[in-house]
Amino acid sequence: MSPAPTTLTITRPDDWHLHLRDGAALAAVLPYTAREFARAIVMPNLRPPVTTAAQATAYRERILAARPEGSDFEPLMTLYLTDNTPPDEITKAQAAGVVALKLYPAGATTNSDAGVTDIRRTYPTLEAMQRAGLPLLVHGEVTDPEVDVFDREAVFIDRVMRPLRADFPELKVVFEHITTKEAAEYVAGADEFTAATITAHHLLYDRNALFVGGLRPHYYCLPVLKRAVHRHALLAAAASGSRKFFLGTDSAPHAAALKEQSVCGAGCFTAPAALALYAEAFELAGALDKLEAFAAFNGPDFYGLPRNTGTVTLRREPFTLPEALPFGDATIKPLRAGETLPWSLQ
């Protein structure tokens, strides 16, 4: 057995699922991502959501303006699909450089009230996307209150994903932030038009993390952490080297005060140490050699975008995450706040 490496150099990676928010929050969180990633797919679930090409262009300008001095970070913009997104918005979106549309089932997650109430309502727009080759990014959970929260992703596969795939076989679909064995198996067995992102926290944690010594709001995200058997299936999928799985942090910043109250918003803030968290997970899976393709090749290949040039280097050097970070007028706690991680970005 070769000794554990002390450094790991990979092609500059991208984050294929990220929440940047807006205003002071955007300015606070963007530098963490811009330091690690060349590009990121920026989620459109602002209030109000980013539903038009014009809004995406304006949001992109605000992101570019918030970049740290000298940063060449490139935001990849998305539109929030609603019941009423007109099919001709797709042409405008593509002309404006929008790379995908995001499907939030109405009420499924943070800022999803304007989401889709019945996917069939969006069929003319999906038709236009399939023709244009514009991917659909999916928050894959049903919202049926009869379905147990821990089963909502698995049920979504049968109720929504399979019919969608059958009706739009050549629509590119990314099953975002998958959390279950069922989703990992579904994507692995699907054709080349289906892919998935996997977060670092779903690779590192199972649902027990929510309850260690008391309720842990900073581990609460949607889709919620699942049993260990699901985490192991996600690790196996990421470590398999399959081109269908790629890095999407789903870093979702919420002020600490909003996480630490009687009703806690969903989202884990992982941007300050995203790559180190992934390195830890891939090492656990004995698959550090698979991290580069997962983080830097599979995403652009699926989206039909060029791979990045340049590299980043991780060092096996303990790195302690701050207890809290500034977040506009408030503070925010990164996942693993105050803890020491085995890897750090050079």
Ligand X SMILES: NC(=O)N[C@@H](CC(=O)O)C(=O)O
The letter for the amino acid at 273 is A
| Calpha distance 103→89 (Å, rounded) | 15
Q: Half-sphere exposure of residue 308, counting CA atoms within 13 Å on the CB side?
A: 23
**Choices 75-83, 107-115, 144-152, 165-173 (CB under 6 A): range interacting with ligand X:** 107-115
Do 100 and 134 contact (CB within 8 A), yes or no? yes
222 lines the binding site for ligand X (CB under 6 A): yes
Within residues 292-331, the interface with ligand X by CB under 6 A covers: none
The residue ranges that bind Zn ion (CB under 5 A) are 109, 139, 250
250 lines the binding site for ligand X (CB under 6 A): yes
284 is in an annotated binding site: no
Q: 22, 158, 250, 329: which is the annotated catalytic residue?
A: 250
Q: Choose among ligand X, Zn ion, none what residue 179 binds, the Cβ cut-off being 5 to 8 Å by kind.
A: none
| Rounded least distance, CB 177 to Zn ion, Å | 6
Whether 329 sits among the annotated catalytic residues: the reply is: no
Residue closest to 284 by CA, chosen among 276, 292, 272: 276
| Rounded least distance, CB 196 to ligand X, Å | 14
**Choices 94-102, 109-117, 148-156, 311-319 (CB under 6 A): range interacting with ligand X:** 109-117
Residues 6+ apart with CB under 8 A from 2: none
Question: How far lies 140's CA from each of 66, 116, 126, 304, 341, in Å?
Answer: 31, 12, 16, 23, 30
| Calpha distance 298→243 (Å, rounded) | 5
266 is in an annotated binding site: yes
Which is nearer to Zn ion, 139 or 336 (by Cβ)?
139
Choose which of 174, 252, 255, 321 interacts with ligand X (CB under 6 A): 252
Three-class DSSP labels, 150-190: HHHHHHHHHHHHHHHHHHCCCCCEEECCCCCHHHHHHHHHC
| Calpha distance 78→83 (Å, rounded) | 16
333 lines the binding site for ligand X (CB under 6 A): no
Q: Choose among ligand X, Zn ion, none what residue 45 binds, the Cβ cut-off being 5 to 8 Å by kind.
A: ligand X
Which is nearer to Zn ion, 85 or 109 (by Cβ)?
109
| Rounded least distance, CB 306 to ligand X, Å | 26
Q: Contacts with ligand X: how many residues (CB under 6 A)?
A: 12
Residues 6+ apart with CB under 8 A from 163: none
201 is in an annotated binding site: no
Backbone φ, ψ for residue 148 (5° rounding): -55, 140
| Calpha distance 323→238 (Å, rounded) | 29
15 lines the binding site for ligand X (CB under 6 A): no
Q: Choose among ligand X, Zn ion, none what residue 34 binds, the Cβ cut-off being 5 to 8 Å by kind.
A: none
Q: Choose among ligand X, Zn ion, none what residue 105 binds, the Cβ cut-off being 5 to 8 Å by kind.
A: none
Question: Which spans of this chain sit near ligand X (rule: CB under 6 A)?
Answer: 19, 45, 109-111, 139, 221-222, 250, 252, 266-267
Residues with catalytic roles: 250
